[in-house]
Structure 1
Amino acid sequence: MQSISVQQLREREGVPLIDVREPDEYAAGHVPGAVNMPMSTLGEHVDDLPEGPFDVICQVGGRSARVVEALTARGLDATNVDGGTGAWAEAGYGLER
């Protein structure tokens, strides 16, 4: 499974970021530019995912890793963000609310 660190995520440009946490978690604080598509409803929205490469984030990296495994099995170019939103905040990077 492809994965990147939050430091690598911060340096990436032009790669969509999908936040698979629930809406209340997303509203409490998310990586700037992240689009919320909860894991619980992702199956209904697979056609809404970006074409081409994209990154997937959750709170600590577990849910996003499972999502990335499922999406790459379908042939999509998804990359997991290790450590998730928690690691992003711990690194001192700002969150949007």
Structure 2
Amino acid sequence: MYGFILASALVLTACKTAGSAIPPKADIKEIVNSSDVTLVDVRIPEQYEAGTAKGAVNIPLAEIQNNIGSLKGKKVVVFCNKGIQADQAMEILKKNGVDAYDGTSWKNVKAIQDEKQSVK
């Protein structure tokens, strides 16, 4: 009986570890500060003009699908005001094979940039 319990435990444990192989999460700070990243602000132009992260381009969420071609092959960080539109943009980009990362909000991405500047 003890052997059966031990064997069952080993089988269950083996299945659990094999099924939960989660790839490591990318470090968003490293990605935002990499030289080959494209920062995409998915808010409307008026919000973008009021303030955004350094070097960001404005592609509103409503236009993201039409810009897939220009983003393919690039490392893209998307962001908005609070992360809701960025999440939607991420879903669209990932479905279309774009290497996309969630920067959440423009203030978050700007803070990451500012942090790097103050370290220099």
Q: Which runs of 5+ in 1 are unaligned?
A: none
CA RMSD of aligned residues (A): 2.6
Match of 2:51 among 29, 34, 59: 29
The Cα shift of 1:52 comes to 2.7
Given residue 48 of structure 2, which amino acid in structure 1 is its aligned partner?
Y
1:18 pairs with 2:48: no
Contact kept, 8 Å, 1:60 with 1:87, in 2: the verdict is no
Deviates more, 1:16-25 or 1:42-51: 42-51
TM-score, normalized by length of structure 1? 0.74
Q: Secondary structure at the match of 1:16?
A: strand
Bigger radius of gyration among the two: 2
1:25-50 residue CA offsets vs partner (Å, 9 max, x unmatched):
00000101001111112222222225
More helix by share: 2
Aligned residues: 91
Q: Distance in 1 between matches of 2:81 and 2:26?
A: 15
Q: Superposed, which structure 2 residues align to 1:37-76 within 5 Å? A: 37-76=59-98
Percent identity, aligned pairs only, is: 26
Q: Which runs of 5+ in 2 are unaligned?
A: 1-24, 115-120
Q: Distance in 1 between matches of 2:75 and 2:34?
A: 12
